[in-house]
């Protein structure tokens, strides 16, 4: 988003990868947007607009727009005139796959320059405005550069460039003689870095970085006095976060975060010198009365620049069934960026049928923070079996062992309705009868009788067969499902079998040889040029394989465009022994565009066939020139 038309209202800029366009939506200041411009992005046969930046790239005072073309390996600039119309300039070549861009006046000449991160060439390209247009200079960085930040990192008055490169951050320092030189490459505490924000996180006057990675934590990269960086975990964002924007939401001078979470919506994380994580609290969700949970861990983290000592970790009110184990933290002195862990437990009370909660108070001198804990308790009926497992011992196939009974009791305080028993097993070895009860009141029981009878299965023996008996119902009051399960097992004796000797099969017309299959594939792929001629057709067919055996076929087609190969179609399917099946495939957008043009196109078709009966993979390929269709006179 940026103010494109100069009315001090943010406008919305979008890239349309379907029609290869840049869309400008004008904002009205009331949260509504209307279409202002739909600009075609020029380029070669394959155009993929990706990132957008806004800046004054010509020194006219108007907001111009730059778009990165990922597969075109170029940057396209749209210059805005005084009437608000845009003039497109020819694409500017950069490195391979420029995914992200940034804009700033790097050389101090009054107009903005463009920085592009080239993901597949491991470079950062700086485009500066010269006498004859933009002039590019590429600087090597670590592998796979993506997100960019332009800021004066070392405080010398010249802007520097920070690039997220895989699991690292590479810094290019602005040189006094112009251009940039490698300075620092620091590994991220988390995983792959996909966003980078420059901020002063520890209030020491130096530029630090907030890194968003593919791990649930976000990372702080702090700058030391000598210009080096160290990477530490700064907070837990939870795995459902889609976007994070750092800003100052209060007046304490610490950086705060505005977080977009697909589960919890929009929320905030306030920066502080003492942070308790997870910041959304500890939740034990649903628990039955008398149930004891596994302990959940919480973390106290010193995010300030001075050491602090933890004095208190205790409940700020009634514990309501929650317990604390803070021995690792009380009396501990935390240096900057250090943390300690404590654990929270929960024993669900038997006299509560509602949500319960409590507050944990953490104090370090005059600093005091609170962490919320909660759980949902249900006092519904529940089922309990008198055994946890039943072993039927050894039973030969075809024989029936004596029946075992399992007694199930309602040990809760409310009735359970619709009690039913069923067997879960990969083998049809057990049957169950009894215990279908419409209502099982508290204290009542029923008995399920299980019979183990291994079936007669030819050609296979197993020494152990497993399964489970599950009894479930619906509890009154809460209306929730309740169940219990019993594991079942039985042993079947292994019977030695006489090996069967088979004569080798001599290849006949019904059993093709490798040479005949390969020849059939080559014959079927030869007419590919005639099939794809015309381009705009979507559903095409390639068939009459005649391979004489069943299997799976894969088809890949690529075209030679601008000195490189571009995939234009793919397909696949199963082929029967008759060879009469046809494999359907469609040209993609690049293929329809290339083959519908006026020039001949060289294509290469590759077939890959896996024969089921022969346990072998066959390949065939052909190169053809596709010439355009002649127009009728």
Q: Does residue 574 sit in the same domain as residue 451?
A: no
Of 379, 409, 440, the one marking the end of a domain is 379
pTM of the model: 0.48
Q: Is the dihedral of CA 454, 460, 466, 467 positive or negative?
A: negative
Does the residue 153 lie in any domain?
no
Q: In DSSP terms, which residues pair with 384 in a beta bridge?
A: 409
Q: Does residue 292 sit in the same domain as residue 388?
A: no
Q: Does residue 336 sit in the same domain as residue 468?
A: no
Q: Is the dihedral of CA 185, 190, 274, 256 positive or negative?
A: positive
Does the residue 160 lie in any domain?
no
Q: Which residue has the tokens 């001599």?
A: 506
Rg (the chain; Cα; Å): 35
Q: What is the DSSP letter of 106?
A: S
Q: Does residue 301 sit in the same domain as residue 324?
A: yes
Does the residue 107 lie in any domain?
yes
Look up the CATH number of the domain holding residue 77: 2.130.10.10
CA distance 270 to 249: 8
DSSP run (H or E) holding 593: helix 589-595
Look up the CATH number of the domain holding residue 389: 2.60.40.10
pLDDT value of position 320: 86
Q: Which residues of 152-162 are buried (b: 16+ CB within 10 A; e: fewer)?
A: ebbeeebbbbb
Cβ–Cβ < 8 Å for 195, 244: yes
For 605: left if phi > 0, alpha if psi spans -120 to 50, otherwise beta; the answer is beta
Q: In DSSP terms, which residues pair with 21 in a beta bridge?
A: 16, 40
Q: Which residues of 436-455 are buried (b: 16+ CB within 10 A; e: fewer)?
A: ebeebeeeebbebebebbbe
DSSP state letters, 144-211: SEEEEEEE-SSSSSS-EEEEEETTEEEEEEEPTTSSEEEEEEEE-SSSSEEEEEEE-SSSSSS-EEEE
Cβ–Cβ < 8 Å for 609, 583: no
Q: Cis check for the bond before 278: say yes or no (omega within 30 of 0).
A: yes
Which residues touch 285 (CB under 8 Å, ≥6 apart)?
375, 376
Q: Is the dihedral of CA 571, 572, 573, 576 positive or negative?
A: positive
pLDDT value of position 453: 79
Q: What is the DSSP letter of 72?
A: T
Q: Does residue 470 sit in the same domain as residue 524?
A: no
Residue 356 is part of which domain span? Answer: 275-379
pLDDT value of position 76: 92
As for how many domains the chain has, the answer is 4
CA distance 432 to 454: 14
Q: In DSSP terms, which residues pair with 116 in a beta bridge?
A: 101, 125
Q: Does residue 357 sit in the same domain as residue 387?
A: no
Look up the CATH number of the domain holding residue 544: 2.60.40
Does the residue 182 lie in any domain?
no
Does the residue 293 lie in any domain?
yes
Among residues 241, 198, 203, 254, the alpha carbon closest in space to that of 221 is found at 198
pLDDT value of position 458: 44
Does the residue 500 lie in any domain?
no
Q: Does residue 449 sit in the same domain as residue 319?
A: no
3 state DSSP class of 514 = helix
Among residues 355, 477, 353, the alpha carbon closest in space to that of 414 is found at 477
Of 323, 350, 379, the one marking the end of a domain is 379
Does the residue 363 lie in any domain?
yes
DSSP state letters, 335-353: PTT-EEEEEEEEB--TT--
Among residues 237, 304, 244, the alpha carbon closest in space to that of 275 is found at 304
Does the residue 335 lie in any domain?
yes
CA distance 603 to 560: 6
Report mean pLDDT in 10-residue bins for the chain, 633 residues: 85 86 88 87 81 88 90 90 88 90 88 91 89 85 89 87 88 84 76 82 76 69 69 57 68 66 60 70 70 81 82 89 85 86 84 79 86 76 73 73 79 79 74 81 86 64 71 70 76 60 47 68 76 60 65 84 85 65 76 81 85 74 79 57
Q: Does residue 369 sit in the same domain as residue 400?
A: no
Q: Does residue 43 sit in the same domain as residue 105?
A: yes
For the segment 394-443, what is each residue's pLDDT rounded down to a tens digit? 777 666 656 788 888 887 777 888 888 888 775 677 788 888 778 888 88
Of 324, 354, 379, the one marking the end of a domain is 379
Q: Does residue 387 sit in the same domain as residue 344?
A: no
Q: Does residue 427 sit in the same domain as residue 408?
A: yes
Query: Order of strands across the sheet with 113-118?
Result: 98-104, 113-118, 123-130, 133-140
Q: Does residue 2 sit in the same domain as residue 135?
A: yes
């Amino acid at each position: 988003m940026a103010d494109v038309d100069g009315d001090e209202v943010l406008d919305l800029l979008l890239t349309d990868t379907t029609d290869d366009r840049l869309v400008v939506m004008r904002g009205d200041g009331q949260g509504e947007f209307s279409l202002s411009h739909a600009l075609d992005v020029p380029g070669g046969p394959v155009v993929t607009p990706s990132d957008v930046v806004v800046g004054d790239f010509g020194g006219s005072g108007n907001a111009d727009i730059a778009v990165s073309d990922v597969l075109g390996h170029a940057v396209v600039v749209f210059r805005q005139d005084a009437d608000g119309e845009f003039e497109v300039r020819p694409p500017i070549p950069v490195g391979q796959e420029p995914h992200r861009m940034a804009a700033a006046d790097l050389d101090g000449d009054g107009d903005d320059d463009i920085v592009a991160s080239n993901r597949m060439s491991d470079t950062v390209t700086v485009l500066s405005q010269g006498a004859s247009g933009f002039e590019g200079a590429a600087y090597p960085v670590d592998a796979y550069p993506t997100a960019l930040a332009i800021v004066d990192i070392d405080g010398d008055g010249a802007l520097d460039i920070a690039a997220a490169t895989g699991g690292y951050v590479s810094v290019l320092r602005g040189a006094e003689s112009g251009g940039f030189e490698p300075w620092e490459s620091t590994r991220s505490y988390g995983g792959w870095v996909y966003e980078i924000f420059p901020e002063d996180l520890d209030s020491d006057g130096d530029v630090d970085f907030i890194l968003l990675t593919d791990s649930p934590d976000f990372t702080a990269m702090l700058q030391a006095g000598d210009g080096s960086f160290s990477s530490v975990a700064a907070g837990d964002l939870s795995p459902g976060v889609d976007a994070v924007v750092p800003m100052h939401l209060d007046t304490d001078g610490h950086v705060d975060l505005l977080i977009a979470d697909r589960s919890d919506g929009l929320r905030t994380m306030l920066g502080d010198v003492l942070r308790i994580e997870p910041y959304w609290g500890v939740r034990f969700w649903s628990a039955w009365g008398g149930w004891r949970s596994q302990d959940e861990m919480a973390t106290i983290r010193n995010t300030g620049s001075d050491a602090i000592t933890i004095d208190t970790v205790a409940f700020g009110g009634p514990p309501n069934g929650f317990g604390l184990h803070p021995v690792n933290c009380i009396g501990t002195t935390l240096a900057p960026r250090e943390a300690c862990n404590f654990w929270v437990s929960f024993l669900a009370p038997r006299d509560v049928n509602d949500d319960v909660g409590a507050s944990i108070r953490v104090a370090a001198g005059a600093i005091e923070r609170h962490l919320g804990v909660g759980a949902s308790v249900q006092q519904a009926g529940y089922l309990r079996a008198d055994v946890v497992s039943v072993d039927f011992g050894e039973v030969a196939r075809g024989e029936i062992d004596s029946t075992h009974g399992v007694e199930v009791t309602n040990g809760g305080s409310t009735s359970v309705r619709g009690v039913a028993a069923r067997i879960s097993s990969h083998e049809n070895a057990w049957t169950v009868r009894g215990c279908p009860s419409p209502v099982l009141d508290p204290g009542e029981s029923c008995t399920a009788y299980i019979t183990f009878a291994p079936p007669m299965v030819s050609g296979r023996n197993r020494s152990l067969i497993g399964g489970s008996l599950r009894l479930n119902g619906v509890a009154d009051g809460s209306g929730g499902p309740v169940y219990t399960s019993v594991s079942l097992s039985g042993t079947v004796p292994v019977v030695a079998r006489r090996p069967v000797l088979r004569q080798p099969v001599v290849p006949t017309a019904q059993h093709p040889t490798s040479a005949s299959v390969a020849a059939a594939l080559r014959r079927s792929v030869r007419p590919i040029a005639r099939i794809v001629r015309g381009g705009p057709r979507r559903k095409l067919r390639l068939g009459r394989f005649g391979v004489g055996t069943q299997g799976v076929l894969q088809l890949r087609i690529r075209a030679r465009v601008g000195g490189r190969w571009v995939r234009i179609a793919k397909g696949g399917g199963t082929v029967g022994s008759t060879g009469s099946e046809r494999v359907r495939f469609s040209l993609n957008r690049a293929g329809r565009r290339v083959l519908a043009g006026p020039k001949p196109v060289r294509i290469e078709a590759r077939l890959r066939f896996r024969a089921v009966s022969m346990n072998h993979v066959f390949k065939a390929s052909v190169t053809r020139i596709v010439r355009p269709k002649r127009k009728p006179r």
